[in-house]
Structure 1
Amino acid sequence: MRVVSWNIRWGCGRDGRIRIHAIIDVLRRLNADIICLQEVAANHPELEGSASSNQFRQLAGAFGGYHSVEHAPSELYKSNMPRLFGNLLLSRFRLTQVHRHVLPWPPDPAGRAGMPRGALEAVLDTPNGKLRVLNTHLEYQSQTQRMAQVRQLKYLHWEACERARLFQPDPTLDAPYQFGLRPETAIICGDFNFLQDSHEYRELLSPGAEGSLPLVDAWRHLHPHQARPPTTGLHGFPWPDKPECYDFFFVTNDLAPRLSNTEVLSETAASDHQPIVLDLA
């Protein structure tokens, strides 16, 4: 099973032009079973390159064999037209549940506004059983907001683990209540906007509330003595000022034995982030 996570920067490449077709070409070559994208836009002509098209629809249409789910926590209106910015998940596996979580957005005493952020959660029927996948993008400008969002991700993980322990699906309930199993086993991925030596990174991996499965950094599990490759700062983009890693895969520890490969695809300049790949046996 292959999972790809990629902040696509609304399809704007190094040349300042919108090239969603280049994003699609890279994703097709990667041939992933699950695709988690961040910074997907719709009706945002003011963004660099003019992201006026509905990229959620473009990307979903380009992968007709996949189920698609979108979540745009940033939803603004101009002349009664929605301007959307958020996450998209594409899956070859059957969807059984979807949860769109709005992450905390506390006022920052430093005056940094930030933007609404979310986590798009899908429960998938995979050949190895049910799997929760969370596709997220945390705040960049404000550490106050980012830490609150990390703690909410930990809470959501505990909530799912506790519900899996306590809840048994009941087909006799009214239809809206007929949720099946929301499993403990999970992959949490995306653009976290923190570094591996940050307080937020350590907080996410610190022991959670009793009953929740521990989380593991997939890269460090597979490459404990190898420097992590950067996921940003390549190909001459003006941000950031040096190569850094902001994009991660975190998995529950029951998935650790199945991890076979994780890597950064560093050759594409279709976004200021690089796609990251996770392979599980």
Structure 2
Amino acid sequence: MRLLTWNIQWGRGADGRVDLARTVAAIRAAGEVDVICLQEVACNFPGLAGGAREAEPAYLAAAFPGYEAVFAAGMDVPDGEGGRARFGNLLLSRLAVGQVFRHLLPAPADPAFPAMQRVCVEAVVSARRGPLRVLTTHLEYYSQRQRRAQVEALRALHAEAAGQAAAPAAGKESNPAFAARPRPASAVLCGDFNFEPDSAEHRLMQAPIGAGVPAWCDAWRVAAPGAPHAPSVGLHGADWPDRAYCCDFFFVTTDLAPRMRALQVLSETAASDHQPVVLELDD
């Protein structure tokens, strides 16, 4: 089972050009992928550098036939012309998709910094060994206070899901909306976390959560213990950042760690200011 995460910067490459065909080509060059998780996906959003208000969720869904598309907008605002402008995360899965959740993340007031509403997409997919939750998100860049609150929220959502998996709610035969549906504790969480491997937020993400809740672990440290994280930004001369480092991660629940095969940052493409990251699991 292969999963890819990538902050595509609305298709804007290190050269400043928005070229979604180039974005698609880079994803295809990664080889066969079961779940594609993309951040900074825009729809009719005016003012994005190099952009022309592309309908990116529809374009990307059409580029990958056979994949089910799940889009969640963190930003959903008027476009100034009577329509809506949306900006968020897109999950594409060629594995069957069960329940889907769109979680808005907290943003406690921190007026000294710019901020935007952040979101996490969660989908339950059908892997060979059973259902698996896949979550993708993009945390706040400027405000550490908000970023920490968002890490806490992700931990709380995971604890909630693990609790439901251990003690499912009673059904109600007369109403299918109450039917029991899989939402397992086993999960993969990925995206642009806007923190670094030696940060307090990185440590918090992996801290124990509670009895019966499998903790998150950094998949890089499972795949390459002791090795420094390969950089996921700062490689191709984009106008941001001014150095190379890692802020794009896969986290897996501890029960999935023995199924880890490989984790790779795809450093060749300059189709974004971030690099794609691919995780391989025994399915």
TM-score if structure 2 supplies the norm length? 0.96
CA contact (8 A) 2:3 2:34 kept: yes
After TM superposition, the runs of 4+ consecutive aligned structure 1 residues lying more than 2 A away are 168-171
**1:102 corresponding residue in structure 2:** 104
SS at match of 1:207: coil
CA contact (8 A) 2:16 2:238 kept: no
Deviation at 1:121, TM superposition (A): 0.3
**2:75 corresponding residue in structure 1:** 74
**1:207 corresponding residue in structure 2:** 208
Q: Distance in 1 between matches of 2:82 and 2:177?
A: 31
SS at match of 2:255: helix
CA contact (8 A) 1:169 1:181 kept: no
Q: Distance in 1 between matches of 2:273 and 2:197?
A: 19
Question: Aligned runs of 1:1-281 on 2, under 5 Å?
Answer: 1-30=1-30, 31-77=32-78, 78-108=80-110, 110-167=111-168, 170=171, 172-281=173-282
CA distances 1:172-200 after superposition (whole Å, capped 9, x unpaired): 25122224121000000000000011111
Alignment CA distance shift 1:88-1:82 (3 Å): same
CA distances 1:256-278 after superposition (whole Å, capped 9, x unpaired): 11100001000000000000000
Deviation at 1:168, TM superposition (A): 5.4
CA RMSD in angstroms comes to: 1.2
Q: Distance in 1 between matches of 2:281 and 2:52?
A: 34
Amino acid at match of 1:235: H
CA distances 1:127-147 after superposition (whole Å, capped 9, x unpaired): 121000011000001001000
Amino acid at match of 1:103: L
Number of equivalenced pairs: 280
Q: Distance in 2 between matches of 1:171 and 1:250?
A: 35
SS at match of 1:52: coil
Amino acid at match of 2:177: P
Alignment CA distance shift 1:171-1:32 (3 Å): farther
Q: Which runs of 5+ in 1 are unaligned?
A: none
Q: Distance in 2 between matches of 1:173 and 1:148?
A: 39
CA contact (8 A) 1:232 1:246 kept: yes
TM-score if structure 1 supplies the norm length? 0.97
Q: Distance in 1 between matches of 2:114 and 2:106?
A: 13
What percent identity do the matched residue pairs reach? 47
CA contact (8 A) 1:66 1:91 kept: yes
Deviation at 1:51, TM superposition (A): 3.9
| Greater mean deviation of Cα atoms: 90-99 or 43-52 | 43-52
CA distances 1:219-263 after superposition (whole Å, capped 9, x unpaired): 001111212110000111121110010000000111111100001
Amino acid at match of 1:6: W
